[in-house]
Amino acid sequence: MSKIKFSFLLISILTIFTLLAGCGQTQEGNASSVSGELNFYTSQPDADAEKLISAFNEQYTDVNVTVYRSGTEEVISKVQAEKQAGEVQADVLLVADAVTFESLKKQDMLLEYKSSEAEQIPDSFVDSDGMYTGTKVMSTALVVNKEKVSEMPTSWKVLTDEGSSGQVVMPSPLYSGAAAYNLGVLTRHDDFDWEFYENIQANEPMITQGNGDVLKAVANGEKSYGMVVDFIVARAEADGSPVKLVYPDEGVPVITEPIGIMNNTDNQPAAKAFVDFVLSQEGQELAAEIGYTPIREDVSAPEGLKTIEEMNVLDADINELYQNRELDKEQFNQLFGE
Amino acid sequence: MENPNRREVMPTLALRSLFSHKSIIRILAILAICVIFLLPIYRLIMLSFTSDGNLTFANYTTILQDAATWQVMKNTLIVVAGSTVISLIIGVSLAWLVAYTDIRAKRVMQLFIVLPFVIPSYITTLAWTQFLGTDGLYMKLASLLPFSVEPINLYSLAGIIFVLGLSHYPLVYLLTVSVFGKIPRELELASRASGAKRWTTFRKVNVPLAMPGIVSGGFLAFLANLDNFGIPAFLGIPAQINVLSTYIYQQVVGFGPSAFARAATFSVLLGMVALIGTAIQWLFLRKSKRLETTIEDKQPRYFLGKRKWLIELIIWLFFSLTGVVPLISMGMTSLITAYGVDFSLQTISLENYQFILNTSSKAKEALGNSAMLAGVTAVIGIVIGTAIAYLRVRKPNFLSKFTEVSIGLPYALPGTVMALSMIFAWMEPVPGWNPGIYGSIMILFIAYITRFLILQVRGSITAIMQVDLSMEEAAHVSGAKGWSKWRKILLPLLFPGVLTGAFLVFLSALTELTVSSLLWSSNSETIGVVIFGFEQAGYTTYSTAFSSLIVMLIILGFTILYLAQSYWNRKVGKRT
């Protein structure tokens, strides 16, 4: 390859990208008692976090919120690494499930804050010590490919049916926080127990890293049935993907994407205002608008999703789940690691 | 062969001519290497010996006693060895064909050869699984055959090896092709005239002389295969096959206070595998010879004759399968309104592109950030990487070897672990002092340089090993010293090889994902982070649209370059 060729290549690529380089934006504003920087770490999809922050900024114009977004496990890894390196940078944290927050609580990393907005939220979704509060309701249900399956299943047992052999996909609890929560809850229910997972394993399931991959495998017809969080299916269904969301009769495990404040935050007023906003009626209506089932009883769920009252919730003791999460994962790894 | 030690005095002149205060420079250089490359690794190694705040071997004893560890090690070795062999075979074969034969459309071929490096690996794997799946094109074609064909299961060790090997052969190709071109045809003719057959000539003349390129490329492919997370995650997790990179990630995301120490311990084990690889490449390179000529000879040496069309057909089929099919599959997904709907006139729309270009400010910011990060990293790499490569080749002492190994390690570590150790190292480089590097875009610059400098060093080493010391000596004899020697003799000779390295650095940094995904902060999103964000949120149509856009930009860059070059050639009136 000639030198001219390469130099042109580098220059032309560089030029194109530089021309396309976007413009950074800074939020400016005034008139509010709350101000300053706020570091928000979350596992919510980017676009959703962006909408949340711009709505928050309409009320609190002086708070400059910076976001770090990734999967729950990576967000927590980053927070843990920051802790070991000296100082946690996050002020407010919003990630998948209560069990994750329970572990942070046990490590004494959270600030106690009982938001007045939490009165409208069912007690079971609010930490009794005020360390974290659920922000939405996200159940794990069945996703079915409409083109490959004509008769919609009504039970989780479809995953263990002999007829479903080779047609099942689910996320790995070793990588997905929601899947680890489901594993904990389901194996503690008499209807399911470990036998449920053993029978799934007999069907030679595909185990993906995350929920998005489950949806993809079912949407593109690679598999017929998947175990997956409800809202991504409802969205895909609304967009026209050939998938159907089914809430099994036995009930569904539910995670609540709790929000909490890190105890070494240097902007408590802004952090508290942010938590209040997320839990407020306005914040919850925004969540519903984006496509989540809200956690407040006075806000209704978006189309295609059930509200919390309509759901038959399968749950288990949070503390027990927290204590046993590593063991559950280990056991799963042994069962599926053959 | 001459004894290199006898000539050891001379090369220092070349550097002394650049820096007069050699000892100061040397001390500063050692310091910089220690801080940038070794500090994160040091923190990692210390962590692997820590349990409950005490120094201990406990992590190693538990991990090495666990049977699962050995299964993972075994898988890793099989996968890395297999995929590196595939990368070598494809890379060297293509380099030979392009360098020596009268095959047509070589420039367009180069573009297709670079493609696997540009397409994100999850797109490649997705395309392959769709192609080979039970409802895929492969089975549909196979059903037309008179005999029955078994479906190919990609979710297996063989599948991982296959896709990894295909993704990393460009590293071998790029470092080998110009080396082949520089081997003087007179040597081959001499060998043929002495009665050696073609194959013997290739084995005894071309291979030994091309060794620096082949080994450098093979080594980079080896490191890339060892570190790659996307492919073994996508194909291995469903089949419950773990390799070191996925296993370490699993430990990290298993969090809890003990997980980092376990992950660090596994990373040290992985580093050992990388060191073994370094030792092997050293064994190969020890015997390699330098070349007298330095001009790349681009005229064909072998005429394929009647077999030409067949070989061209095979090559283009190969490119269609490995480059075009994944791209088309990606492009089709980016045009449909919802994932999973059939591709038809009713479902096609440009709204995903509109979202990327208009609605989402993140995509534009990410393009700018990544372009700047990749550009700066490439430029810094050219200067520092080439200086290090020069020292490594001309003064092969302990210090320069140590430098090379230190620079290679961060490329071999899994991205997640490397990012975590960067947090440990840069949040408070000196206890109690937080310079604000972590949390700003600076951390990404440092991380990219730390991670990708080895690509430049290997590219430049290959280039420098092609320039015989006698060229420098001739320059001295003729009175060229100092800067003028570099400007007039060395730089023009090294330019193509150095730019190959810069090109690899630029492309790697442009689409980097795993390191950025832990280190980015608001306003420093990179292309990889944004694509992965869409992907994780289930917006596959957006992620494929953005990926397609990147690929189009790169193809556009190539096209501009191609046109400019043709125009230049016509105007100057010379043939290439």
Query: pLDDT value at position B20?
Result: 56
pLDDT over 50 (residue A24): no
Measured CA to CA, the distance from residue A156 to residue A177 in angstroms comes to 20
Copy the structure tokens of residue A33: 């008692």
Residue B362 forms contact with A (CB below 8 Å):
yes
CB within 8 A of B96, min separation 6: which ones?
B180, B206
Closest partner residue to B256 among A81, A236, A326, by Cβ?
Answer: A326
Closest partner residue to A239 among B337, B503, B506, by Cβ?
Answer: B337
Provide the number of CB pairs (under 8 Å) joining chain A to chain B: 234
CB A81 to CB B534 under 8 A?
no
User: Which residues in chain A are closer than 8 Å to B520, comparing Cβ atoms?
Assistant: 68
Over residues A146-153, mean pLDDT = 92
* Digit-coded pLDDT (tens) for A299-328: 999 988 998 888 899 988 988 998 898 889
Instruction: Place B290 in a pLDDT band, splitting at 50, 70 and 90.
Output: low
Over residues B179-201, mean pLDDT = 82
pLDDT over 60 (residue A28): no
User: Which residues in chain B are closer than 8 Å to A86, comparing Cβ atoms?
Assistant: 427-428, 431, 434
Q: Mind telling me how many Å the CA of B473 is from chain A's nearest CA?
A: 24
Closest partner residue to A21 among B368, B427, B565, by Cβ?
Answer: B368
User: Which residues in chain B are closer than 8 Å to A20, comparing Cβ atoms?
Assistant: 364, 367-368, 371, 553
Please state, for a pLDDT cut of 90, what percent of chain B lies above it: 14
Closest partner residue to A329 among B254, B370, B416, by Cβ?
Answer: B254
Where do we find the tokens 């070589």? B106
Q: Mind telling me how many Å the CA of B467 is from chain A's nearest CA?
A: 16
Interface of B with A in 429-468 (CB under 8 A): 431, 434, 438-439
pLDDT over 50 (residue B294): yes
Neighbouring C-alpha atoms within 13 Å toward the C-beta of B277:
28
Measured CA to CA, the distance from residue B38 to residue B135 in angstroms comes to 49
- ipTM > 0.85? no
Is A254 within 8 Å of A139 (Cβ atoms)?
A: yes
Query: pLDDT value at position A102?
Result: 92
Question: B465 or A90: whose pLDDT is higher?
Answer: A90
Question: A168 or B412: whose pLDDT is higher?
Answer: A168
CB A66 to CB B521 under 8 A?
yes
In this prediction the pTM is: 0.79
* Digit-coded pLDDT (tens) for B219-262: 989 988 998 888 888 888 888 888 988 888 888 776 556 677 88
Q: Mind telling me how many Å the CA of B398 is from chain A's nearest CA?
A: 33
Measured CA to CA, the distance from residue A316 to residue A323 in angstroms comes to 12
Measured CA to CA, the distance from residue B533 to residue B356 in angstroms comes to 13
CB B238 to CB A240 under 8 A?
no
Which of B255, B355, B416 should we substitute to test contact with A (largest number of A Cβ atoms within 10 Å)? B255
pLDDT over 70 (residue B571): no
Question: B150 or B100: whose pLDDT is higher?
Answer: B100
**Of the ranges B85-99, B125-139, B479-493, the best mean pLDDT one:** B85-99
User: Which residues in chain A are closer than 8 Å to B523, comparing Cβ atoms?
Assistant: 24, 66
* Digit-coded pLDDT (tens) for A242-268: 999 999 999 999 999 999 999 999 999
User: Which residues in chain A are closer than 8 Å to B365, comparing Cβ atoms?
Assistant: 22-24
Over residues B316-331, mean pLDDT = 81
Where do we find the tokens 């609540």? A256
Copy the structure tokens of residue B171: 């590293």
